[in-house]
Structure 1
Amino acid sequence: MSAEPQPARRPGGRTRLISKRLWAATLEILAEKGVDGLQYEDLAARAQVARATVYRRWPNRGDLFRDILARFAEAFVPLHDSGDIHDDLVAFVYAFAEASATPEGRAVLQILMRKADESDGLREVALELLERRTDDLQRRLDAAAALGQLPAVDARFVNMMLAGPVQWFLVRRTRPFTRDDADKVVGVVLAGLRHGDAV
């Protein structure tokens, strides 16, 4: 009598489960204690894995935070080109607000505020991430300028004008930043760019 066929195992099922637990525990700790409060012993205990598992995945905290930065970049809503610069910037600003309010986003902001002479290189990685986003924004602004929707403008300046109000909301935390807020911010910035000197 032949043995009944066994159901096929899904490859990587346990690995995916461990990854999920590790990532959930990482975000919990970041939300509670911030970047400096994240310790591998606590992470392993919360994820219910051995410390060796954590070290195997991220040999040091720098590797873990680089992973956070990479995931933040992936989760960040891309800057679309619908042909309407106002709508595209509203979506961009609102996505930035939503992402910045997450544990990953708060961790990224903490990393950006690290001293320039920190030896782990995390601040440089975060700045590189911002530069890539700025390059995306510059291409979108250039496309709008080519259509006569805006004068030629510098994306770094525009990004500061757009991000500043979002960060003010995040610091105050009196209420969530809404899409209507994003619409108002973009409206004011675009009006200034159109009626002022090109930046």
Structure 2
Amino acid sequence: MDAGGAGTVRPGGRTAAVRAAVLRAAGDILAEQGFGALDLADVAARAGVGKTTVYRRWGNAPRLVADLLVDMAQQSLPRTETGSLLGDLRANARLVQRTLSDPRQGRLFKALIAAAVCDEQAADALHRFYRVRVEEWASCVRQAVERGEVPEGTDSHEVVRAVSAPLYYRLLTSGDPLDEAAADRAAHAVAVAARTGAYVSEPDLP
């Protein structure tokens, strides 16, 4: 994924160490204070690197957010394979639930979503982040089609998005408990719907 000109990283080198420190500092500020408080000078001070380095490499807060999302996509845990659609969807839902209910990560995702609302560059980066995550987990639905668990033509991306949607709803709007039971209900509901053909793509009408 393209970070929007954030620079080349040499694994294990000084460039990688600076990037890691800056992204960690940016994530902390986002989680603690929100996107509106993300100032590059403050990020540099917290990361212990020169302000000039941060401004030269990232330029502005939206580009820094974009690079943070690239890093988060790269660091995300690989999908779980359980051998059944319900098992895979439950694993996905529980991973989302654990992430969003984590004190730091939940606030961070709220800030990232707020940034996407306010800035087009941040929005593009957030969309790319979720495309990567959805595509990785979509393979579990395609495998379910091959096993005959769900009908041919099932839209794998829609299935994965439907699992996490109620969890994000709880995070952002309802304030209902974001617990493992909620994750399991979401996975079960989507698995049942997928088996009935609810996510089969409709053919294009003439």
Q: TM-score range by the shorter chain?
A: 0.7 to 0.9
Give the CA deviation at 1:157: 2.6
Check the 8 A contact 2:70/2:125 in 1, yes or no: no
Check the 8 A contact 1:134/1:156 in 2, yes or no: yes
1:69–1:26: structure 2 CA closer, same or farther, 3 Å change rule? Answer: same
Distance 2:110 2:199 in 1: 33
CA distances 1:99-156 after superposition (whole Å, capped 9, x unpaired): 34515433432344346xx3xx332232223223333333221110110112232134
Equivalences for 1:46-65 in 2 at 5 Å? Answer: 46-65=46-65
1:71–1:26: structure 2 CA closer, same or farther, 3 Å change rule? Answer: same
Give the structure with higher Rg (CA). 1
Between the two proteins, what is the percent identity of the paired residues? 25
TM-score by length of 2: 0.72
CA distances 1:27-84 after superposition (whole Å, capped 9, x unpaired): 2210133223201122233334431232244233233112211122123222233312
Distance 2:130 2:145 in 1: 22
Q: Name segments (4+ residues, structure 1) moved above 4 Å.
A: 18-21
Structure 2 equivalent of residue 42 of structure 1: 42
Check the 8 A contact 1:78/1:92 in 2, yes or no: no
Equivalences for 1:42-191 in 2 at 5 Å? Answer: 42-101=42-101, 102=105, 103-114=107-118, 118=120, 121-152=121-152, 153-171=154-172, 172-175=174-177, 177-191=178-192
Check the 8 A contact 2:97/2:180 in 1, yes or no: no
Gaps of 5+ in 1: 1-10
Distance 1:47 1:128 in 2: 26
> Which letter does structure 1 place at the counterpart of 2:46?
R
Paired positions, count:
183
Give the CA RMSD over aligned residues.
2.9
Distance 1:54 1:72 in 2: 19
Distance 1:125 1:112 in 2: 8
